[in-house]
Structure 1
Amino acid sequence: MNKMLVAVFDTETAAFEGLNALRDLHGNGDITLYASSVIVKDQAGKISIRQAADEGPVGTSVGLLTGGLIGLLGGPGGLAVGATLGGLTGFLFDLDQSGIGVTFLDDVSKTLTDGKVALLAEVEESWTTPVDTRLHAKGGIIFRRLRSEVVEDQIVRENAAFEADLKALQTDLTQAVAEDRAAIQNDIERVKKHIKANQDHARARLDQAKAEIDARVKALQDQAKGASDRAKARIEKRIADANADFEARTNKLKQAWTLAKEGLAA
């Protein structure tokens, strides 16, 4: 399962030992490590990045979470605690869009107190024991968040609501007296704009999902090269699961896109 993982440590040394442990588990095929970063919060509360997340589709979520923590807790280019909510809106929206969620960010931020160090990673793991055993041995406090389909579900729900509004308005239009028809027609055009925006959102999410699955599958295939037969079997299972997850997400997005197209044609 594709997860965001954060482990908070007392020292920078322990955090990098934790990162090396994840790399070892990746090498053994116990997990797949897609991307990682390490951030430090000093005794004055200032956050700095010791290792940045990888660029590209696979590293995007770790980069967003890193930026979100910096924005929430304060740091270079970030927003200090107590800054306006509007200043964090972009970060929080992007986190939700990436399937991470604001609650996860909040839980981590409460533990990442002054002097602590956080290891952030996007991983594929079918069971938690290997990671828990290695990171707990370094004193790590571990947080996980399953990458969710909440955005896809939201797009489908919003589209259904807009479709219902449009049908109701079109019915009203056929029954309206002459002086009310212009106002109802304006409402219809407004709802159609929402439907078009939702359709564009679904299209963008489809493109994003395709880029992510291509990058994830390539990383898994690279990991499988030279792996033992046992490890290779686990990795191939992850590839199958990743493709199944991609199909489920894209089916929802295609459904939303098709419904939007039909609504705009009405």
Structure 2
Amino acid sequence: MAQQLIVAVFDRVDVAERAGRDFRNFEEKDLGFKIESGVLVQKDAIGQLNVLDKYTRPFWGTVIGALTGGLIGMLGGPAGAIVGFTVGASGGLAGHAIKETLDNELVASIASKLTAGSVAFILEAQEASPFEVDNIVLGYGGSVFRKPLGR
């Protein structure tokens, strides 16, 4: 299975929450999709990205990958640390390596869809095929972005 950074952007929290349940249900079927870390974030009116603990913790726990934490910082979240969450080592990537992995084009594309009030699932996952996740995201009217990770 290919290691991926997957970002799914939705207009509303309730829609993202339904998609998150579908992600989890697909993962439980053991058909080539394994979530290693995930977080639900929302962009507020002033451009700050906030982790939605209430929706994130029941699904994905308290450890997020280093790439996820780096992306949150690049999209307007708190730099370096995320309150209430532990940022995992995610393969021992240093800060500069994270910025190299998360190229400006990817970050700009995600930022253009992640407008005030919208929400995004940021997942580090292994997936055999993007088909099912794409169907879930597009079925809820969302946008999906991927970055292959070299593991």
TM-score bracket for the superposition, by shorter chain length: 0.7 to 0.9
Q: Which has the higher contact order (CA 8 A, sep 6+)?
A: 2
Contact 2:70 2:99 in 1 (8 A): no
Q: Distance in 2 between matches of 1:63 and 1:29?
A: 27
**What residue is the counterpart of 2:142 in the other structure?**
140
Contact 1:41 1:47 in 2 (8 A): yes
TM-score by length of 1: 0.44
Gaps of 5+ in 2: 81-93
2:98 to 91, 95, 101: 95
Shift in CA distance, 77/144, structure 1 to aligned 2, threshold 3 Å = closer
Q: Distance in 2 between matches of 1:47 and 1:60?
A: 16
**What residue is the counterpart of 2:115 in the other structure?**
113
Matches within 5 A, 1:184-195: none
SS in 2 for 1:70: coil
Matches within 5 A, 1:125-164: 125-148=127-150
Matched, 1:28 2:49: no
Matched, 1:70 2:76: yes
User: Which residue identity lines up with residue 32 of structure 1 in the other structure?
Assistant: K
Contact 1:2 1:123 in 2 (8 A): yes
Quick check: which has more Rg, 1 or 2?
A: 1
Describe the superposition over 1:2-55 as per-residue Cα deviations: whole angstroms up to 9, x where unpaired.
000001101011112222211111111130111101111123433221046743
Q: Distance in 1 between matches of 2:98 and 2:108?
A: 12
1:46 to 32, 45, 48: 48
More helix per residue? 1
Shift in CA distance, 24/77, structure 1 to aligned 2, threshold 3 Å = same
Gaps of 5+ in 1: 79-90, 149-244, 246-266
Q: Distance in 2 between matches of 1:147 and 1:128?
A: 14
Q: Distance in 2 between matches of 1:64 and 1:27?
A: 28
**What residue is the counterpart of 1:37 in the other structure?**
39
Contact 1:68 1:92 in 2 (8 A): no
Q: Distance in 2 between matches of 1:106 and 1:63?
A: 16
**What residue is the counterpart of 2:106 in the other structure?**
104
Contact 2:47 2:76 in 1 (8 A): no
**Paired residues, what number?**
130
Matched, 1:11 2:12: yes
- Seq. identity, %: 24
Q: Distance in 1 between matches of 2:96 and 2:79?
A: 18
Measured after TM superposition, the shift of residue 103 of structure 1 is: 2.5
Q: Distance in 1 between matches of 2:17 and 2:103?
A: 26
Q: Distance in 2 between matches of 1:133 and 1:38?
A: 19
